[in-house]
Amino acid sequence: MKPLNQLPREQARQVTTVFTDIDDTLTTGGKLSAQAYEALESLQRSGLRVIPVTGRPAGWCDHIARMWPVDGVIGENGALYMWRDGASGKLHTRHLLEEDIRRENTARLAAVREKILREVPGCAVASDQFCRQYDLAIDFCEDVPSLELDVIDCIVRIMEEAGMTAKISSIHVNGWFGDYDKLSMARLMMQERYDIDLDDEAERHRCVFAGDSPNDAPMFAYFPLSVGVANVLDFADRLPHPPRFITHRASGAGFAELTQHLLEP
């Protein structure tokens, strides 16, 4: 990982889209600081496209797409995206799976949830589970005392044995039925909303992704201008694909550092 200041200015000036994780990338200690929010607004005000890409639930995405200075949001680790039409004021949602499949998966998720709670002491269902439509989020440090890595791995193992995809964020283990992730939905959203093919290498070089944890690895691997905020080092030995660049500061301050670098004349 190279220091962010080694991201060449000529490449930074070509960026048109900023994808960013939310938890511990935009937020700091679970809070969205004024500094990080101002960074989002500065990017959008400067004409850049801003799209959070998060494991947080559909209910959060509804608020983010309506209220934040962003052009849309990808939620539940790539299960859906939302955007607000500026002309009509209407919120739109693009689901990856049909409603009947989502309904069938609900019962399967409940069975896995009960097995995890029975076999992994100390974990809990994430407090935002009630507004999720696709996945099961198991809390290992947000509202419970932090669990050891081997315990977190046990949660992952139970999910994978049930046929789920399981990803570790900085606060939750998210599991779902289906072959998708943050990257697959980012590619679909860019094609459908903006007629941009991210298979085109030149288009990929016009995008930046900022993140901090293992569930960001597909985005880190795909985008040449991938940036980890400094706390990504907490997961350095669990990242199959680390980011190309790293900020000096952590969390929201690190995102603000990235924003400043992108917007420097």
Alpha carbon separation from 153 to 76, 149, 173, 222 (Å, rounded): 20, 6, 9, 25
Which pLDDT belongs to residue 245?
98
Closest alpha carbon to 57 in 140, 115, 136, 170 = 136
Question: 131-169 burial, b if ≥16 CB within 10 A, otherwise e?
Answer: ebbbbbbbbbebeeeebeeeebebbbebbeebebbbbbb
86 pLDDT higher than 90 = no
Closest alpha carbon to 211 in 188, 242, 181, 185 = 242
Global pTM reads: 0.94
Task: Identify the residue whose tokens are 């009947």.
Answer: 100
Per residue in 135-185, pLDDT tens? 999 999 999 999 999 999 999 999 999 999 999 999 999 999 999 999 999
Closest alpha carbon to 22 in 71, 93, 73 = 73
Write phi, then psi, for 243 (nearest 5 degrees): -70, 160
Task: Round to the nearest angstrom and report the end-to-end CA distance of the chain.
Answer: 24
**pLDDT band at 12, cuts 50/70/90?**
very high
Instruction: Look up residue 156 and give its two tokens.
Output: 């992952």
| d(C-alpha 64, C-alpha 67), whole Å | 5
233 pLDDT higher than 90 = yes
221 pLDDT higher than 90 = yes
CATH 3.90.1070 maps onto the chain at: 99-176
265 pLDDT higher than 90 = no
Per residue in 91-115, pLDDT tens? 999 999 999 999 999 999 999 999 9
CATH tag for 2-96+180-263 (out of 2.40.30.10, 3.40.50.1100, 2.60.40.10, 3.40.50.1000):
3.40.50.1000
Q: Which fold has domain 99-176?
A: Hypothetical Protein Ta0175; Chain: A, domain 2 (3.90.1070)
Closest alpha carbon to 207 in 180, 232, 182 = 182
